[in-house]
């Protein structure tokens, strides 16, 4: 859940430009294939899996070449209830244990008096926590599972170390349900990262 802090249209467009600029810094401006426009025939499932920690496996063995994993991640999309790798001529289904992306680290940046939280995935995606890339918090029993929307609606699980860093930067506030919430501010918005 996120809460907009009341910025006007000019501030939002200015914030949007800052978010774009921050995401492009340090090589984050890779051109991605237009997979959202591709809808070729489904050719079946292949023995490929993305594990919860972001590791990719093919035929039971880990794909250890980062460039190959990054390449596969650029042609990944959600197709109804399954994840697929897609080209203009075919698409194949793969297994995803939790989320297709894994956030390995976070940075706190200041630009024009605003705080921005930039997240880096294991596949090299750089996303700024914002209205476009919101954080959602799910619970598995007592254990929180934080996610961020990475691209084209695909989620990224925020890894334990990155999540603990967010908690360290968080601030307490009283939630509407009377519980204390821990929130993090980024790109003019506040995102709930925990409850007490």
Chain segment 113-139, per-residue pLDDT in tens:
899 999 999 999 999 999 999 999 998
β-bridge pairing 114-121 and 101-111: antiparallel
Identify the band that residue 72 occupies on the pLDDT scale cut at 50, 70 and 90.
very high
CATH number 2.30.270.10 given to 2-29+100-195: yes
CA distance 195 to 193: 7
Domain spans, the chain: 2-29+100-195, 35-96
Question: pLDDT band at 9, cuts 50/70/90?
Answer: very low
H or E segment and range at residue 68 = helix 66-74
What CATH code is assigned to 35-96?
Answer: 3.10.540.10
Q: What is the pTM of this model?
A: 0.83
Please state, in angstroms and rounded to a whole number, the distance separating the CA atoms of residues 139 and 32: 32
Q: Name the band, by pLDDT with cuts 50, 70 and 90, for residue 155.
A: very high
């Amino acid at each position: 859940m996120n809460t907009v802090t009341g910025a006007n249209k000019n501030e939002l467009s200015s914030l949007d430009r800052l978010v774009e600029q921050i995401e492009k810094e340090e090589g984050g401006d890779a051109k991605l294939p237009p997979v959202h426009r591709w809808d070729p025939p489904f050719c079946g499932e292949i023995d490929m899996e993305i594990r919860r920690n972001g590791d990719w496996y093919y035929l039971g063995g880990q794909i250890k070449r980062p460039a190959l994993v990054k390449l596969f991640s650029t042609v990944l999309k959600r197709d109804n209830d399954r994840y697929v790798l897609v080209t203009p001529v075919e698409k194949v289904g793969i297994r995803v244990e939790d989320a297709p992306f894994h956030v390995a680290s976070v940075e706190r940046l200041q630009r024009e008096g605003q705080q921005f939280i930039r997240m880096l995935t294991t596949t090299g995606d750089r996303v700024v926590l914002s209205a476009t890339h919101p954080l959602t918090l799910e619970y598995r029993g007592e254990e929180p599972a934080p996610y961020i929307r990475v691209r084209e609606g695909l989620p990224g699980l925020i890894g334990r170390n990155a999540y603990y860093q967010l908690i360290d930067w968080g601030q307490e506030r009283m939630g509407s349900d009377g519980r204390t919430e821990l929130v993090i501010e980024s790109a003019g918005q506040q995102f709930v990262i925990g409850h007490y």
